[in-house]
Structure 1
Amino acid sequence: MKKIVFITVILVAIFTCTGCRNSNLPAIDKNETEEKIQIGLSFDSFVIERWQRDRDVFVYTAEELGAEVNVQNANGDVNKQISQIEYFIDKGMDVIVIIAVDSEACKDVVKKAKEAGIKIVAYDRLLINSNVDLYISFDNEKVGSLMAKTLKDNIPPGGNIVTIFGPTTDHNVMLIEQGFWKVIDGSNLNVVYSVNAVNWLAEEAYNAVYEALKITPDIAGVLCGNDNLATEAVRALAENRLAGSVIVTGQDADLAACQRIVEGTQTMTVYKPVDKLAKAAAEYAIKLAKGESIDVDTTINDGTWDVPYVKLEPIAVDKNNLDEVIIEGGFQKRDEVYLNVTDK
């Protein structure tokens, strides 16, 4: 009988202690069960090579910081992008990061998001009249100045040039054009043909070169708003046996552009360290979601409001510094850049 009572006491003690331990489990696991910060990332499209890199770095950084990222691709359709942002609002995102198809078209849906308490980050392209919580990009006026300087430094006075800018719906394009004209005005270079490529469609550059050649066969330079446009511009020049003898500029340091630079058919590209941009944007998004100060002193006017502006510096890249900036910097691989060059 004593033996049975003793065993019973032991079992009661074990169950009692076990219950005590279980009652403390929620406190131990509290941090692990907290809801993660939710970020909606809305892209214009992935047609431009660099956007895939921006996405990957942003998502990786945000997830390392404990957030979850929902990526949506509008495929260049502004109405689709607005619909996707509305989806983010319905899902109760903490932050929405927008690479705008149209810099002005999103202001109403952005207002709706802000009224729902969601923070808004304009990534790379400013959202006009939208009073975003942060705009993060490069110095786009300087991008235009760097392109123009390459043309001015390499073309004799009186030379004819063609300009193929991006779409007017992209606010950055206006800034690039401003930077371009600040250098070109008074340079004695003649802009014989100019076009804005709708939706950044590369074939517009191909057509522009042919239209310019109808005006004059003497083309000394072609400014391309990005490297994708430069691909088609160089193709048109090559068909007219002009590739390599015409100064061609681009932007983004795409692999194909870097290959053309070492091969001699593109003169320069403007490199924008997108890894740095995407990483910083993810870090700022987390801070905004937590209600922390972002400590940004610079502002830019969006047409109505002065909004916080994080401005990164672009770098002009040509054959003289491509190895140092692009290859040694880890942006592109040497064997891929020099793939078609026998004498490396």
Structure 2
Amino acid sequence: MSKRVRSLLVILSLCLSLTITGCGLQALLGNKNKTSSTKGGTETVIAVSLDEEDPNKLLITKGIDDLAKKEDVQVKYLDKSAAAKESPLKGAKVLIYQGGDEKLLKSAETEKIPVLALSQLPVGAKLVGIITPDQEKAGELMAQTLVSKVAEGQVIILQGDPSETGFQERLAGNKAVLSKYPKIIVQNIVSSPDSESVAKQGLVDFLQKNPDKVQGILAHTEKLAVLANEVLKQAQLDKKIILVGGQASVSSLERMSKGAQVGDVDTSPYLQGVNAYQWAQKVIKKESLDVNNSITSEQGEIPAKIIQVKAVTSDNLAVIQKSYTKTLESAEQEKKQTEEKDKGKKGDQASQDQGDSKKEESQAGDKQGSSNGGEKQAEGKSGDIPPGVQKVTERIKTETTREYFDEQGKVIGTEKTENEQVKTVPPEMLKQQSEQSKQSSSDQGSESGKEKK
């Protein structure tokens, strides 16, 4: 094979190699560009409206926030003031609703934002699902704790609002256990939707009419447990009548540690928040929900995620109390940091606004100064001699004050004299003085311009 042919083959091989390599690099660069372009995107917004009176509100928010921090998600909490704004749900992809302003539900329906219920089924709302603790199981656990201490006598069940979700389920759980004890007589006291005062008065009246007969009280909510504890203390019955709650919180666990309450139910508020967030993300991404039950409502069967509950007794009180307290302290600290951060942002914005205001004032001052300068120039021009002047007079008025002092320097007399002179000035002289003044001002302006340069 000749050298010429060999050279041609080598050149062809190199060209082919460069072509293949170039395609590979181009493909890699193309993939890199595609990868980097997918990183950009708008931040997902989840709106949350919670019940302001829920004793475990901060624990629920803690569960939501802990997961939101790990992802590029903004959680927008809507209290009453935020809900009253013109577009509170602006940018939100889903609304987690436990309570609060019911107008949010109408806004969500109008703006076609999916609504996910938390522990309560809001009336008239179209829901994609609900996260709720196992209400019937909670009722059973309450009654089981009671019958472990009491086997006969009268037992009062303090029930919550009949319109609330889980009302019937908890009562059914209570009765499923208590019905096995024929010597226990059950008395139901229902609270009104807007106030617990009716339930409080009903409890006071029943205790007065049945002295030494009531052995225990089952309070469905923490608010009712607080009410019952107050009544028992006032009647000096807190050591005689057993109190069992149905919604564990830091305050109820504190009562248990002091012996004012013998049992409660851990409804896992932190896990409620976690699961609510997870379902909200599934709704946004249009993924299937991990449904483990359903709840019947006016709009039919609602997909539900039932959160397991557990009894709080003297055996596990220390562990659960530590968990609740630690989680709450962490949530409070994070809330404080967030508030301080927001306050700092508002302060920076206020400083910026103040700076802009001062800048505007400065600009206005400059304009005013320019205006005043113009006025002064106008005044200077008004001193020029009008055309056609034949005679100019100057009226000079002087006032002399003479004071007379004694040996000690005190004024013992004053004399004032006034003198007025009228002087005629030739117009030519004034005209000459005016021209000299203008020439002097022009020269000063030229020198000032040279200095600036």
Report the TM range for the smaller structure's normalisation: 0.7 to 0.9
| Maintained 8 Å contact 2:78/2:88 | no
| 3-state SS of 1:154 partner | coil
Relative to structure 1, the CA distance from residue 244 to residue 202 in structure 2 (aligned partners, 3 Å threshold; closer, same or farther) is: farther
| Maintained 8 Å contact 2:98/2:120 | yes
Query: What is the alpha-carbon distance in structure 2 between the residues aligned to residue 111 and residue 124 of structure 1?
Result: 19
Relative to structure 1, the CA distance from residue 130 to residue 194 in structure 2 (aligned partners, 3 Å threshold; closer, same or farther) is: same
Relative to structure 1, the CA distance from residue 63 to residue 140 in structure 2 (aligned partners, 3 Å threshold; closer, same or farther) is: same
Relative to structure 1, the CA distance from residue 312 to residue 326 in structure 2 (aligned partners, 3 Å threshold; closer, same or farther) is: same
1:64 pairs, out of 61, 70, 92, with: 70
* Residues 1-344 of structure 1 mapped to structure 2, 5 A cutoff: 30=37, 33-45=40-52, 47-74=53-80, 87-89=87-89, 91-100=90-99, 110=105, 113-114=108-109, 116-127=111-122, 130-157=125-152, 159-185=153-179, 187-188=181-182, 189-192=184-187, 194-199=189-194, 201=195, 206-218=200-212, 219-327=214-322, 330-332=323-325
Task: Name 2:335's counterpart in structure 1.
Answer: none
> Which runs of 5 or more residues in structure 1 are unaligned?
1-24, 337-344
Query: What is the alpha-carbon distance in structure 1 between the residues aligned to residue 87 and residue 175 of structure 2?
Result: 40
Which amino acid in 2 is paired with 1:97? I
Is 304-313 or 52-61 further displaced after alignment?
52-61
Is 28-37 or 58-67 further displaced after alignment?
28-37
Query: What is the alpha-carbon distance in structure 2 between the residues aligned to residue 310 and residue 52 of structure 1?
Result: 21
| Maintained 8 Å contact 2:46/2:73 | yes
Query: What is the alpha-carbon distance in structure 1 between the residues aligned to residue 206 and residue 100 of structure 2?
Result: 28
Cα displacement (A) at 1:186: 5.1
Query: What is the alpha-carbon distance in structure 1 between the residues aligned to residue 271 and residue 43 of structure 2?
Result: 24
| 3-state SS of 2:151 partner | coil
Query: What is the alpha-carbon distance in structure 1 between the residues aligned to residue 196 and residue 150 of structure 2?
Result: 25
Cα displacement (A) at 1:243: 0.7
Query: What is the alpha-carbon distance in structure 2 between the residues aligned to residue 66 and residue 317 of structure 1?
Result: 36
| Maintained 8 Å contact 1:141/1:179 | yes
Relative to structure 1, the CA distance from residue 306 to residue 259 in structure 2 (aligned partners, 3 Å threshold; closer, same or farther) is: same
> Which runs of 5 or more residues in structure 2 are unaligned?
1-31, 330-453
Task: Name 2:386's counterpart in structure 1.
Answer: none
Cα displacement (A) at 1:272: 1.4
For each residue in 1:26-52, what CA deviation from the matched residue of structure 2 results, as whole angstroms up to 9, or x when unmatched?
Answer: 97864564111111111221x232012
| 3-state SS of 2:48 partner | strand
Query: What is the alpha-carbon distance in structure 1 between the residues aligned to residue 171 and residue 179 of structure 2?
Result: 12
Query: What is the alpha-carbon distance in structure 2 between the residues aligned to residue 249 and residue 297 of structure 1?
Result: 28
Task: Name 1:10's counterpart in structure 2.
Answer: none
Relative to structure 1, the CA distance from residue 227 to residue 115 in structure 2 (aligned partners, 3 Å threshold; closer, same or farther) is: closer
Cα displacement (A) at 1:298: 2.8
| Maintained 8 Å contact 1:41/1:72 | yes
| Maintained 8 Å contact 1:44/1:74 | no
Cα displacement (A) at 1:101: 5.9
Q: Which has the higher contact order (CA 8 A, sep 6+)?
A: 1
Query: What is the alpha-carbon distance in structure 2 between the residues aligned to residue 186 and residue 57 of structure 1?
Result: 38
Query: What is the alpha-carbon distance in structure 2 between the residues aligned to residue 101 and residue 182 of structure 1?
Result: 33
Relative to structure 1, the CA distance from residue 49 to residue 295 in structure 2 (aligned partners, 3 Å threshold; closer, same or farther) is: closer
For each residue in 1:68-108, what CA deviation from the matched residue of structure 2 results, as whole angstroms up to 9, or x when unmatched?
Answer: 12112349xxxx97x68x9445x242101110369xxx6x9
Cα displacement (A) at 1:63: 3.8
Cα displacement (A) at 1:324: 3.5
Relative to structure 1, the CA distance from residue 101 to residue 172 in structure 2 (aligned partners, 3 Å threshold; closer, same or farther) is: farther
Query: What is the alpha-carbon distance in structure 1 between the residues aligned to residue 320 and residue 193 of structure 2?
Result: 31
Cα displacement (A) at 1:111: 7.1
Query: What is the alpha-carbon distance in structure 2 between the residues aligned to residue 209 and residue 101 of structure 1?
Result: 29
Cα displacement (A) at 1:326: 3.7
TM-score between the two structures when normalised by the length of structure 1: 0.75
| Maintained 8 Å contact 2:221/2:246 | yes
Cα displacement (A) at 1:129: 5.8
Query: What is the alpha-carbon distance in structure 1 between the residues aligned to residue 256 and residue 132 of structure 2?
Result: 25
State the identity %.
22
Give the number of equivalent residue pairs: 295
Which amino acid in 2 is paired with 1:170? E
| Maintained 8 Å contact 2:293/2:303 | yes
Query: What is the alpha-carbon distance in structure 1 between the residues aligned to residue 71 and residue 319 of structure 2?
Result: 31
Task: Name 2:382's counterpart in structure 1.
Answer: none
Query: What is the alpha-carbon distance in structure 2 between the residues aligned to residue 281 and residue 321 of structure 1?
Result: 26
Which amino acid in 2 is paired with 1:331? Y
User: Which is higher, the Rg of structure 1 or of structure 2?
Assistant: 2
For each residue in 1:116-145, what CA deviation from the matched residue of structure 2 results, as whole angstroms up to 9, or x when unmatched?
Answer: 432211111124564411211111111112
